[in-house]
Amino acid sequence: MVNCYQAASLEAALKIRAKESVTPYAGGTDLMVKPRKDAEYLFLNKVPEMKKIVEDEKYIRIGAACTFTEIIESKLTPAILKEAVSQIAAPAIRNLGTAGGNICNGSPKADSALVFFATDSKLRLVSSKGERVIPITQFYLGRNKTSLQDDELLVEILMDKTGFNNYYYKKVGARNALAISRVSFAGVINIDKSIIKRFITAFGAVSDIILRKDDIDSMFVGKTIEEAKSVKEDYLAAYDRAIVPIRGRVSAEYRKAVCMNLLRDFLESEGI
């Protein structure tokens, strides 16, 4: 027997979350594929605090229950995120699926999560006892494993308001539409006065979690484009060692080759 709870406010949702062993959901697109018997669910799509896309002085704050369609249609959404979520499934799925669900599934193939990794986004996790804000990179513990506590809800994703105009995004699937990522890649570079101030790359569907290697990417930070060219081969060699893809519907060798090709293409697109 399936029991369902519905909350009309964040306070009510947190009270239910604290007392009952429930699975939170808003769109339920993944639950439709893998329903659980004897499960208890908490429906969050009517919680107004989780349905807003707003901005403050520092962040664009995306409610975890916002659908992909709402994210695409918001004037506040950065272009890199719009591009990624516009390639998720079909309009019917985008009308239901949410950013919070995409993140909390803990899948390394999650298209929106990849962008949040590449943009150093933060997650606001709330329980009836308080809240915490953590980098999304600390949220994932392994394949389908996250640090979300049993009494917590992911309420908002916090993206910096600036710094992501110069980006690169590619999703490689079996077809052009309705495709689950075989490999996905996002890169962000910020240059100020000819100096690379930020350089971030992220790979999806490659490892048990979305792959970021800040120690390798830092090889370019503080350099000019010409100086970056001088360490390009060392940079690529470091990534060639670091990327050890999981096997799945496609071979690890295929994933590795695609990752390196996307990385080279990103560098070349920036003149490196």
Q: Token pair of 14, please?
A: 């947190």
Percent of the chain with pLDDT over 90: 87
Average pLDDT estimate for 105-127:
96
Average pLDDT estimate for 226-254:
93
In angstroms, rounded to a whole number, what is the distance separating the alpha carbons of residues 142 and 147? 10
Percent of the chain with pLDDT over 70: 95
pLDDT band at 247; cut points 50, 70, 90? confident
Please give the torsion angle defined by the CA atoms of residues 139, 49, 84 and 142, in that order, rounded to the nearest 10 degrees. Answer: 20
pLDDT band at 3; cut points 50, 70, 90? confident
pLDDT digits (tens, 9 = 90+) for 140-184: 999 899 999 999 999 999 999 999 999 999 999 754 545 567 899
Average pLDDT estimate for 90-116:
95
Q: Counting runs of H as helices and runs of E as strands, what totals does the chain give?
A: 11, 13
**Helix (H) or strand (E) segment spanning residue 163:** none
pLDDT band at 2; cut points 50, 70, 90? low
> In the chain, where does the domain assigned CATH 3.30.465.10 lie?
48-160
Cβ-based burial of 81 (10 A; exposed 0-12, middle 13-18, buried ≥19)? buried
Give residue 174's pLDDT.
Answer: 57
In angstroms, rounded to a whole number, what is the distance separating the alpha carbons of residues 147 and 134? 10
> In the chain, where does the domain assigned CATH 3.30.390.50 lie?
167-269
pLDDT band at 71; cut points 50, 70, 90? very high
CATH code of domain 167-269: 3.30.390.50
Show Cβ contacts of residue 192 under 8 Å, excluding neighbours closer than 6 positions.
Answer: none
Average pLDDT estimate for 64-82:
98
Average pLDDT estimate for 180-209:
94
In angstroms, rounded to a whole number, what is the distance separating the alpha carbons of residues 255 and 142? 19
Give residue 53's pLDDT.
Answer: 98
Please say whether the beta carbons of 144 and 106 come within 8 A. yes
Summary mean pLDDT of the chain? 93
Q: What are residue 40's DSSP bridge partners?
A: 3
Give residue 35's pLDDT.
Answer: 64
In angstroms, rounded to a whole number, what is the distance separating the alpha carbons of residues 40 and 4? 6
Measured CA to CA in angstroms, residue 108 lies from 137, 218, 224 at distances of: 12, 23, 32
Average pLDDT estimate for 42-68:
97
Task: Give 48-160's CATH code, choosing from 3.40.50.10190, 3.10.105.10, 3.30.465.10, 3.30.9.10.
Answer: 3.30.465.10
Write the DSSP string, 35-104: --TT-EEEE-TT-GGGS-EEE-SSEEEEETT-BHHHHHH-TTS-HHHHHHHTTSS-HHHHTT-BHHHHHH
Higher pLDDT, 38 or 187: 187
Indicate whether 139 pLDDT > 90. Answer: yes
pLDDT band at 1; cut points 50, 70, 90? low
Give residue 45's pLDDT.
Answer: 95
